[in-house]
Structure 1
Amino acid sequence: MARRAPCQYCKQRRRKCERSCESEPCTRCIKMKRKCIPQEFSSSSDSSVGDDDEVNERRYNDLYQQIEELQIELHNLEIDLNKQRSTAALIKSEPTWTLQIENGQLRLQTEIKSFEELSLYGKAFLRYLSPFGNTFKKVSLVFENAQPYALHKAITDLTRLAVDNGSANNNMYSNSMIARYIKPEAFIDGLIDIHFHCFDVWLQAIHERSFRKRIEKINKLEDPTTLAICASASVHICRHSFLNSQEKRYVGEYFYKKCMEKLIDMFDDPERELESLVIINIIQPFLFTTMRFNECKKWSSIAWILAESLTKKHPGYANGDASLDMNTRIFYATIHRNHLAARGILSIVDLFFNHRCECIEHIPCRFDFLPDENSLIRYSFEALNYVIQLESHPFMSRVHKRTMKALVGEKIDLTFEDIVCHEGFLVEWWQNLPEYMKISEEPYNCTKELIDSCNSVQKLTMSLYIHSVAINIHANLVNIKINGNTAQIVKDKAIYLALYAAEIILILAKKIENLEEICF
């Protein structure tokens, strides 16, 4: 059954097409003064309905796509507007400072009425003296790791599994038939030598000469400090170890069990605070190695409490020097070193157990190295004093706090000026080092040929430190979240320096190992 098709104008507007016959124009086109263009006749009402549905669907899809595009455009306009408003508010909230040069001196003419204004002036004055001025002030570079650090993730998963599943049955080592035939007297002297000459060569928690003199007069198997030293030294891996893998565990468990029996009875004794602190710091590597993570977490907190208590009782602990008598000087040095060790261990525990990365606040103080300590320990503390001088600077401390957040997957927010000033501080610090600590005049001019020709552990380890700082900073700057020339410059240089520093670190580590002056 054929039906009359509407004209094109009426069909587009979905209106009724009224006309007397096909050859005449419709009343609507006549009224609108339009040319009435007829449509083709449909042979079937079903096909006409199908065509209408297809047209409607196509028109609906077009409208839906237009709406989506408008929504995206509105969202982008809203983001741009919010950025403009925040920038305008920030600029508007900052006061204007009037400076005048008079008789060669820079004077502030604007009156300061509150401490907040003084703080704002201090920040503005530093920015005024900056060679960049306000050029990069509003440019904030956001860096984010695409994936968490593999080492952090692996250790975190390992600690979680160990805590969830509980510690292994360590009594199997101490109660086995092998443990019954262990003669500890045969191992003590060798393990003590390994501790002082291989294990604890950088930050000696206990004065070697005083310790050896004291244990000559006592039963070594009843001294908790000796037991802690033997437990940790037995599982230490170095070329001087005289135990195989199985013997390490049995011997270590033997000394650890006897040490903990005594430590539990003494750690809350106010008269033995320092001794307890030393024992806990020495035994911690054994706890890490044997995956006693709950014990490690518990004793690290106790050690930090003991360390803080000792520093409050003896506020002059950081001022040890040649003017003091030898016993007092040793006492202060032991507190100072173990306070630093306790804080470092607690920060590692926080990282892997609590997923917090709290930077150690380096107080600008000098570590005292005692006159009867060997040259390697003397050098290590001299180098540590220079490192603390660098990292205790407020600017360096602020940058390091931000970059350390990447260890737990947080974003890093730095300005371009922060990155440039950080490199400037490192170069200036390196150039002020004594000549016997520098392998080259510039920190990043180190080459494989230069390393191969150097036989000084002091120069090699200091170069290892400066390149470790470089890779720690620049490895975090590779994944940048904004586009532009500034971001691309930072990214390209970060990739180059990170790869260069990684290569140099491997060469330095191999060279230090080949020298065989320290167990590395």
Structure 2
Amino acid sequence: MKNRHTPCTECRKQRRKCIQISPDQPCLRCQKLDKICARPENCALDPNNEVECLNQEVNELNQAIQRMEHELKTLGIKSPLYIKNNTMTLPRSTIENLFYNWKIKINNGYFTIDTGIKYISDLLPHYTSIEYLSPMTSYSSSSSEDSWSDGGSILIRFKSQEYGGFYGLTGKMLTKWIKKRMLGQQALLINHIPCGSRMLLDRLVDIYFNCHNLYCGWLHESSFRKRYSQLKEPLDDLICASLCCYVCATPCDHLDFNAYQRRDMCDYFYLKAKEKLVDQFDEPDKRLENICLDLRSEYEAAKVQTGIDYALFARHFSVAYCLRITLDCVVNKPITRQPIPFPVMNTLPDELEETKDFIRVMTWVNHLYEEPFVDMLVEQIHLILIGSTCTISFETVARMDQFLLDFGKNIPSEWRLCDNVFDEAKCRKALDQTTNPVAIHAFLHFAVLIVILYVTILQPVSVNDENDLLLQHIQRNALEKSLKMSRLLLYGVQRLFKLKTLSPCHVKLTSMIIMLYLVDPIVLQCSSPIKSSVLEAQKMFQKCLDIICNIRGIQREDTPPQLLAEKKDIKDFIHNGSVDIDYYDRFPDPWCALLHDVSQFFI
């Protein structure tokens, strides 16, 4: 039997991980909190008792299965379509194959059923069998407009069939990275830079409010500065440590440090913020507050929420939703669903007009993602981004053009650059003529969504020869639209750099975010069978790389010569996702260095 580690009484009570270096020493958490590390007298589990417990769990699971089967049988008999379903006969071999493909296992007391089915698309080949076997048939609405299993609709499967993109590859990198031992704080202290000095922290706070907060409104300046002035140890405050980490991670012109120093400062403040975030779960008041925030989404608000705290919460909620979708792609997991509609984002009376305008743009973007049509598409294309297969009806694909065209016409008039977002010439002319940065931001957000929607249906999966012409038409239309919007995104970013009304630091940060979303679609465009489209995508990839390198401001002299002389075979990374983490970690910006090497494969 496997030896089990029994947590101490304190960690068990608080439901926290108990890390014990040595049996005769207190655990790390009790040492940190100065708690008495008491352990149960009988820490060692009796193997005989363990077997008895597992046998008892097996018996309980068997009883639960019997009760479930009884309930399903009763529900099936009560179904108004029971007689109709009972007349649906399938070959016995089909039913037996369906059952035999399911594997039931009990491992360490856990009961698992392995069906081999991960996504909805895996269910479609067995739809008739599932409908025949399921007692829930009568509860599915066959008249629903959004039903993809309607017998009259044409279902099309899409999948990234070649190298596809960077999301899955990044996930493999992170999986390998988290296995490495994190550096301690002492190893991250920077020579000649006192990270904990009040003077440096004051400077980082000023940079944040002068260069960044003006265009996102994540913090209420007067409230934060009043609270910040009362802090004896600012780095013991989670928000302050997070703010400093954010500023050091941005390509800000007001940081007089080289690339390596910025990297080390960012890592230092990140560890500080992470430490304070974890400590919150050891404070009873904070833990209760976090539980209440988590439960908030399950209940309707009794009245309209107002005030500074709620306004900031709504903004952070939207940003966290976007970040979570991106991280779901990176770690290769199904999309995390969020409650819709989003919390209403209100502006505050003492905020600047520029901040209020950008908050209104964020509110409009939320309305776009709240649309049921967009919400459904985002969930499906997420499967492609993580390397799986998605299934979309032909009617949905056909509706996409008109939906996006109509939604573009409904953009508020003060931000709307062009009534037809697919008219490239008019959009370029409108971008040249406008001096309103808010309008350009709204256009860029909309264009990013359009590119992602179209680029993910570039590679339909052919099931038979009957639909080949239809798939070719879908592929040509998706390629045309995605290339057009990619060109407009690059043009819009270049237009932002020419505006004098925006902070250059914010323009750089916005451009980096756009490049993050644009690089992956361009890689997918490089897999097109049309050579002219591939050449155009390669040129755009080079433009993206030039913009990223210019923004990050990484100079060749910042990189050790021996590191530049060492070459890596990037082909192995593209096809197998294997990458030398230690090698790229020695660069001041690992992502930029990796992207530069990847470009040699596509350009």
Q: Fold conserved (TM > 0.5)?
A: yes
Equivalent residues in 2 for 1:6-25, closer than 5 Å: none
CA distance, structure 1, for counterparts of residue 200 and residue 173 of structure 2: 31
The 10-residue stretch of structure 1 (356-365 or 143-152) with the greater mean CA deviation from structure 2: 356-365
CA distance, structure 2, for counterparts of residue 160 and residue 469 of structure 1: 28
Aligned-partner residue type, residue 180 of structure 2: N
CA distance, structure 2, for counterparts of residue 165 and residue 115 of structure 1: 49
Work out whether residues 316 and 332 of structure 1, in 8 Å CA contact, stay in contact via their aligned partners in 2: no
Question: 2:348 aligns to what?
Answer: 370
User: Which of 422, 435, 445 is 1:455 aligned to?
Assistant: 435
Question: 1:497 aligns to what?
Answer: 481
1:348: how far off?
Answer: 3.5
Change (3 A) 1:170 1:416: same
Question: 1:384 aligns to what?
Answer: 362
Change (3 A) 1:465 1:346: closer
Equivalent residues in 2 for 1:84-233, closer than 5 Å: 116=138, 119-123=141-145, 137-168=152-183, 170-174=185-189, 178=192, 184-200=197-213, 203-219=216-232, 221=234, 223-224=236-237, 225-233=239-247
CA distance, structure 2, for counterparts of residue 318 and residue 391 of structure 1: 24
Question: 1:234 aligns to what?
Answer: 248
Work out whether residues 402 and 413 of structure 1, in 8 Å CA contact, stay in contact via their aligned partners in 2: yes
Per-residue CA deviations over 1:279-308 (Å, capped at 9, x if unaligned) read xxxxxxxxxxxxxxxxxxxxxxxxxx6741
Unaligned runs of 5+ in 2: 1-123, 511-603
Aligned-partner residue type, residue 320 of structure 1: Q
Work out whether residues 310 and 335 of structure 1, in 8 Å CA contact, stay in contact via their aligned partners in 2: no
Aligned-partner residue type, residue 119 of structure 1: S
* SS of equivalent residue, structure 1 residue 165: coil
Equivalent residues in 2 for 1:338-487, closer than 5 Å: 338-358=316-336, 360-363=338-341, 365-447=343-425, 448-482=428-462, 483-487=467-471
Aligned-partner residue type, residue 458 of structure 2: V
Question: 1:509 aligns to what?
Answer: 493
* SS of equivalent residue, structure 2 residue 391: strand
Change (3 A) 1:456 1:253: same
Aligned-partner residue type, residue 492 of structure 1: R
Change (3 A) 1:166 1:438: same
CA distance, structure 2, for counterparts of residue 206 and residue 306 of structure 1: 21
Aligned-partner residue type, residue 229 of structure 1: L
1:389: how far off?
Answer: 2.1
1:255: how far off?
Answer: 4.1
* SS of equivalent residue, structure 1 residue 239: coil
Change (3 A) 1:273 1:430: farther
1:237: how far off?
Answer: 1.6
Work out whether residues 168 and 329 of structure 2, in 8 Å CA contact, stay in contact via their aligned partners in 1: no
1:499: how far off?
Answer: 0.8
Change (3 A) 1:315 1:417: closer
1:505: how far off?
Answer: 0.6
**Aligned: 1:332 with 2:310:** yes
Change (3 A) 1:375 1:272: farther
1:462: how far off?
Answer: 1.5
When the two chains are superposed, the root-mean-square deviation of aligned CA atoms in Å is 3.7
Higher-Rg structure is 1
Change (3 A) 1:427 1:214: same
Question: 1:247 aligns to what?
Answer: 261
CA distance, structure 2, for counterparts of residue 257 and residue 399 of structure 1: 37
Change (3 A) 1:352 1:434: closer
* Sequence identity percentage: 18
Aligned-partner residue type, residue 308 of structure 1: D
1:446: how far off?
Answer: 4.0
The 10-residue stretch of structure 1 (192-201 or 408-417) with the greater mean CA deviation from structure 2: 192-201
Change (3 A) 1:177 1:468: closer
Change (3 A) 1:449 1:515: same
1:222: how far off?
Answer: 5.5
1:258: how far off?
Answer: 4.9
CA distance, structure 1, for counterparts of residue 499 and residue 269 of structure 2: 32
CA distance, structure 1, for counterparts of residue 233 and residue 497 of structure 2: 33
Work out whether residues 141 and 415 of structure 1, in 8 Å CA contact, stay in contact via their aligned partners in 2: yes
1:503: how far off?
Answer: 0.6
CA distance, structure 2, for counterparts of residue 118 and residue 150 of structure 1: 36
Change (3 A) 1:373 1:402: same
CA distance, structure 2, for counterparts of residue 257 and residue 267 of structure 1: 16
CA distance, structure 1, for counterparts of residue 441 and residue 162 of structure 2: 30
* SS of equivalent residue, structure 1 residue 194: helix
Equivalent residues in 2 for 1:43-58, closer than 5 Å: none
Unaligned runs of 5+ in 1: 1-85, 94-113, 128-133, 278-304, 322-328
Work out whether residues 153 and 395 of structure 2, in 8 Å CA contact, stay in contact via their aligned partners in 1: no
Question: 1:67 aligns to what?
Answer: none
Question: 1:319 aligns to what?
Answer: 304
Q: TM-score w.r.t. structure 2 length? A: 0.54
1:183: how far off?
Answer: 6.6
Q: TM-score w.r.t. structure 1 length? A: 0.61
Work out whether residues 475 and 494 of structure 1, in 8 Å CA contact, stay in contact via their aligned partners in 2: yes
Per-residue CA deviations over 1:148-205 (Å, capped at 9, x if unaligned) read 433213312321231233334553222x6535x5572222222113323444555443
Aligned-partner residue type, residue 247 of structure 2: A
User: Which of 294, 299, 305 is 1:308 aligned to?
Assistant: 294
Question: How many positions carry a matched residue from both structures?
Answer: 368
1:406: how far off?
Answer: 0.7
CA distance, structure 2, for counterparts of residue 265 and residue 365 of structure 1: 28
Change (3 A) 1:307 1:377: farther
